[in-house]
Amino acid sequence: MNAPDIIVIGGGIAGLSAAAALSGHARVAVLEAEEQIGYHSSGRSATMLHYALGDRLVRALTLASRPFFENPPEAFAGTPLGHRMPVLVHAREEERAALDALDSEISQFAQLERLDAAGVHQLCPLLRSDALYGIADFDGIRLDPHALLQGNLRQLRSRGGELHTGARIARIERAAGSWTVTSDKGDRFSAPILVNAAGSWADAVGKLAGVLPLGLEPKRRTIITFDAPHGAALDALPFTKTIGDELYFAPESGRLFASPMDEVPSDPCDAQPDEYEVALAAFRMEERTTVEVRQIHSKWAGLRTFTPDRHPAAGFAPDAKGFFWLAGQGGYGLQTSPAMAAVVRSLIARTPWPVSDVSPEELSPARFLRQPA
C-alpha cells in the first residue's frame, strides 16, 4: 500500500492509536523508523493512568480515555489493558496547602479519599513518618503499554491498514495535492493526508515538510528499579508520589521502581539514563521512605515532549494543506491516547467531536503558529 489515503509517521502510542481509529474510515499506513513499535517514549513510561498529572485539559482527556481502557474494542481480543492500582499523593506538614489545592482540582475527575498519617502509612508502609497527609484514588490504572500498542496494531491490520517498520522518513515533498515521503532506504509513499506523530522528532519531521515548528521541547525522565525490602507486600502497594514533583515509586515485576521526576532538556534521541539522575532517584527514595537502595537492578530514560503550553497538539497545520500535527503528549501520552485518537478521527474523518470538556481550538497547533502582528 504505497498510496494509502493517510500516512502516519511514528509507530509509538500516538501514531498507532490514531491509525487504528482512522482505519475504519480510510486506508492508513504507519511508517516507523525503528524495527519495532514503541521503542522510544511509549516503551519507557511509568505506565500509570492518574490525575495528579497535568491540569484540567489533561485530566479531561484522561477521563474521556477511561472507558476505552476499561472496555477495549473487540480487536483487542479481550486482553486487559491494565489493572487497578491505587494512587497515593502524600505531603509533609509544610506541603499541606498544596495537597488541599490538588485535592480540589482532582476531585472533579476522580473520587478521592482524604488520609491522615495513619491512613497514609496503612496504604504505603514504606513511607517515613513525616508523610502526614495524603489523598488516595483507589481507581488508578497501571496500564499495559505492550497490550495497548499490540491491540491498536491488531485493529489497524484487521481493517486493512499497514505498519512499515525500519522506515525512517528522510524526505517529504508536496506536489499535485499529495504528500510524498521517502525513507532513508528509498521507499516512497504518497497520500493526501500526512499525520506527524513522530514524538520527540515531530518538529524535525515538520521541518522536512517545510511547515512552521510548534516549538516542542523533549525532556528526559529517568527510572530505576531495585529490590523491595524483604517481606514487603508488593501487590498491595500503591503508585506513591510526593505532592511536589520530587519522587514517585511503585511495584514493578517483583521489585520497586522509582523516578526523581527529572525534566532535563534534550535533543530528540535514544535517551539514556544519566548517572546524576540515577543517584538522585536512589537518594530521594531513601530520603522519603525507609527503603535502602542497595543495588540498582535496572535503569532507563525516556523523553517526554512538551508543547510551549504543555497541552498536546492535534489538528491540521494552518500553513500546509493536509499536514496534520499529533504531538506534545508530554508525560500523559499513554493515558490520553484513546481520547486523542478519537480527536484525530473526528478532525480527519469528520466524526462527532469526542471530548465535550475540551474544544478543538484548545488542541489546535495553530495556537503556536500565529505570526506576530
Residues of this chain that interact with ligand FAD (CB under 6 A) are 9-15, 31-34, 38-42, 44-48, 167-169, 197-201, 205, 221, 223, 302-304, 329-335
Q: Which residue has the cell 496504604?
A: 123
CB of 55: closest distance to ligand FAD in angstroms?
14
Task: Give me the least distance between CB of 222 and ligand FAD, in Å please.
Answer: 7
Which of 66/128 has CB closer to ligand FAD? 66
Nearer to ligand FAD, 132 or 363 (CB): 363
Of 334, 333, 313, the residue nearest 325 (C-alpha): 313
Listed in sequence order, the residues at least 6 apart from 353 whose beta carbon sits closer than 8 Å to its beta carbon are 343, 346, 360
The CB-of-25 to ligand FAD minimum distance in angstroms stands at 20
Close Cβ partners of 71 (under 8 Å, ≥ 6 residues apart): none
Supply 275's cell numbers: 548517572
Cβ proximity to ligand FAD, 121 vs 220, nearer residue: 220
> What is the dihedral sign for C-alpha 305, 316, 25, 342?
positive
Question: What does the alpha-carbon distance between residue 281 and residue 343 come to, in Å, rounded to a whole number?
Answer: 36
Identify which of residues 126 and 197 has a Cβ nearer to ligand FAD in the complex.
197
Give the closest residue to 343 by CA, choosing from 60, 48, 129, 3: 60
If the CB atoms of residues 16 and 132 are measured against ligand FAD, the closer one turns out to be: 16
Shortest separation between residue 168's beta carbon and ligand FAD, angstroms: 5
Q: In the complex with ligand FAD, which residue's Cβ is closer, 152 or 364? A: 152
| Structural contact between residues 16 and 37, judged by C-beta atoms closer than 8 angstroms | yes
Min CB(121)–ligand FAD separation in Å = 24
Closer to ligand FAD by Cβ: residue 201 or 325: 201
Tell me how crowded residue 145 is: count the other CB atoms within 10 A of its CB: 19
Q: Which residue has the cell 507486600?
A: 233
Q: How far is the CB of 116 from ligand FAD (least distance, A)?
A: 27
The CB-side HSE value for 20 (13 A sphere, CA atoms) comes to 25
Compute the least distance from the CB of residue 54 to ligand FAD, in Å.
10
DSSP string, 145-180: HHHHHHHHHHHHHHTT-EEE-S--EEEEEEETTEEE
